[in-house]
Amino acid sequence: MAEGSPDGRLVSHYRVTDRLDGGGMGVIYSAEDTHLKRTVVLKFLAPELTRDAAARDRFMQEAEAASALDHPNICTNQLRDARDAAGPDDQRQ
């Protein structure tokens, strides 16, 4: 694990395993759901945008739109309120 890396950090009941991508508005990580013992993908609003109300609103709209999709080749997402858990790069304790 690289110094400063979020790998291994717990966010709710998800253990972050790797940063997959980032850009635009968000950062995407692979993680393990410690309750269901399965691999999941987590997307967080980019840390520099967390205080921007318009960016938070757009991020939530994207999550809501994605959650409305229903197709066998599209994974489901679980919409979590941004106040429920900070992203793995957030240094607040």
Name which of 78, 73, 52, 53 is nearest 63 in CA terms. Answer: 78
Identify the pLDDT of residue 8.
82
Rg (the chain; Cα; Å): 13
- Indicate the pTM of the whole model: 0.69
pLDDT confidence bin for 80, thresholds 50/70/90: low
Query: Could you tell me the sign of the dihedral formed by the alpha carbons of 59, 27, 52, 4, in that order?
Result: positive
Annotated domain spans of the chain: 10-67
67 conformational bin, left if phi > 0, alpha if psi -120 to 50, beta if neither:
alpha
For residue range 25-50, what is the model confidence (pLDDT) as tens digits?
Answer: 888 999 999 999 999 888 888 888 98
| Farthest-apart Cα atoms in the chain, separation | 39
Q: Which residue has the higher pLDDT, 69 or 75?
A: 69
Name which of 34, 24, 78, 25 is nearest 16 in CA terms. Answer: 34
pLDDT confidence bin for 17, thresholds 50/70/90: very high
Q: What is the residue-averaged pLDDT of the chain?
A: 79
What architecture (CATH level 2) is domain 10-67?
2-Layer Sandwich (3.30)
